[in-house]
Amino acid sequence: MAEKRIIAVVGARGAQGGGLVRAITADKNGPFTARALTRDIRSDRARELRALGAEVVAADVDDEESLKKAFAGAYGAFCVTFFWAHMSPEKETAEAAAMAHAAKAAGLEHVVWSTLEDTRKWVPLGDTRMPTLKGQYKVPHFDAKGAADRLFTDAGVPTTFLATCAYWDNLIHFGWGPKRGPDGKLAITFPLGTSSLAGIAAEDIGKCAYGIFKQGAAHIGKTIGIVGEHLTGPQMAAALTKALGQSVSYRDMPPEAYRNLGFPGADDLGNMFQFDRDFAADLRRLHSVEASRALNPELQTFDQWLAANAAHIPIG
Ligand SMILES: NC(=O)c1ccc[n+]([C@@H]2O[C@H](COP(=O)([O-])OP(=O)(O)OC[C@H]3O[C@@H](n4cnc5c(N)ncnc54)[C@H](OP(=O)(O)O)[C@@H]3O)[C@@H](O)[C@H]2O)c1
């Protein structure tokens, strides 16, 4: 049997990278082994990664030298940044640049870069439909990733640009779950109007990335938008009603009101939902369920994700 090739996985203890490590290590006869990057190789979760069969190595995306060492000898790498850890698009850009330079230095043959749309291609900075944030962004946590695509191309790294979308897991971990209104009734509240939101089980992102590595060269230089389902607010509420056994409705909210909710990043997310609302047709075209399933035959629907996860959704 040919020797297995190493995929270095940034964020291996996180949602996206973790899914990829699990996909690689579950495929015992597959062509790859997982090298899991973490800042703390002595943690319990690092031990869990070793137990799965991954090699665990230390690296920090803020330290290019550590990335060069961690990428050395690998065939490929999965690269992701951690916007919500610092909320700085400039830092995210620097992290992407460090990964691109390290990938080039290591001579990697295939990198999958976890990106999002640069919304300024749809809503230029001068467009007053939504405010400009942090001086030069409309949706900072999208725009910096989309703009960073170029850093991989310019560095000459053979890259697939994996455009992800909203995790349904945000219902559990990011405060998106149903809340009781003054009438005592449960509702989810997003500024989506009648448009749909591109959503996915976070675990499926890593599985799609695995599909890209397995299918290989054909995807280099391409942008692939993935999605589990495009669902409207009422469709999500109906699925939640069924899964939770309690009535959940969808409440709409103007993006402006969402931007002013007062939590850190509310303005960024308000602009994001407005982008999702106003350009849903483009996002349906760019994020295809069929293309995602071709990479990951186990791609979950929202109902399937809820069947496994609804019990963990906090009800406010
Ligand atoms: N939530 C959503 O709906 C959504 C949708 C699309 C895209 N995204 C994007 O997804 C990205 C985050 O990915 P994720 O959800 O997979 O992350 P995550 O689950 O928060 O991953 C956290 C892991 O990343 C590692 N990490 C954090 N800072 C690091 C650093 N400086 N160097 C190396 N590793 C570091 C940590 O591992 P160690 O402690 O082991 O080092 C941590 O366990 C964000 O940029 C976000 O914008 C989110």
Ligand 1 atom at shortest distance from the alpha carbon of 43: 40
**Cβ-based neighbour number of residue 61 at 10 Å:** 24
- Three-state DSSP class for residue 262: coil
The alpha carbon of 11 and the centre of ligand 1 are apart by a number of angstroms equal to 6
**Residue nearest ligand 1's atom 19 by CA:** 14
Ligand 1 atom at shortest distance from the alpha carbon of 142: 47
The alpha carbon of 84 and the centre of ligand 1 are apart by a number of angstroms equal to 8
pLDDT of residue 293: 98
- Mark residue 299 as left, alpha or beta (left: phi above 0; alpha: psi -120 to 50; beta: remaining): beta
**Residue nearest ligand 1's atom 15 by CA:** 15
Ligand 1 atom at shortest distance from the alpha carbon of 39: 41
List, for the chain, all residue ranges whose pLDDT scores fall below the cut of 70: 1
The alpha carbon of 25 and the centre of ligand 1 are apart by a number of angstroms equal to 20
**Residue nearest ligand 1's atom 17 by CA:** 14
Q: Let me know: does 24 contact 45? Beta carbons within 8 Å.
A: no
The alpha carbon of 154 and the centre of ligand 1 are apart by a number of angstroms equal to 24
Put simply, whether the predicted model's pTM sits higher than 0.85 gets the answer yes
Ligand 1 atom at shortest distance from the alpha carbon of 62: 31
pLDDT of residue 1: 60
Ligand 1, pocket-test mutation among 82, 117, 143, most atoms within 8 A of CB: 82
Nearest to 169 by CA among 270, 289, 309: 309
Query: Measuring from each residue's beta carbon to the nearest atom of ligand 1, which residues come in under 6 Å?
Result: 11, 13-17, 38-40, 60-62, 80-85, 116, 141, 164, 166-167, 170, 174
pLDDT of residue 316: 84
The alpha carbon of 297 and the centre of ligand 1 are apart by a number of angstroms equal to 24
**Residue nearest ligand 1's atom 11 by CA:** 82
Tokens 């996985």 belong to 9
Q: Let me know: does 89 contact 69? Beta carbons within 8 Å.
A: no
Amino acid making up residue 160:
T
Tokens 């620097």 belong to 94
Paired strand residues for 36: 9, 56
The alpha carbon of 133 and the centre of ligand 1 are apart by a number of angstroms equal to 22
pLDDT of residue 240: 98
Tokens 């999702």 belong to 276
Ligand 1 atom at shortest distance from the alpha carbon of 17: 16
pLDDT of residue 2: 78
Name the burial class of residue 41, with classes exposed (0-12), middle (13-18) and buried (19+) by CB atoms within 10 angstroms of its CB: middle
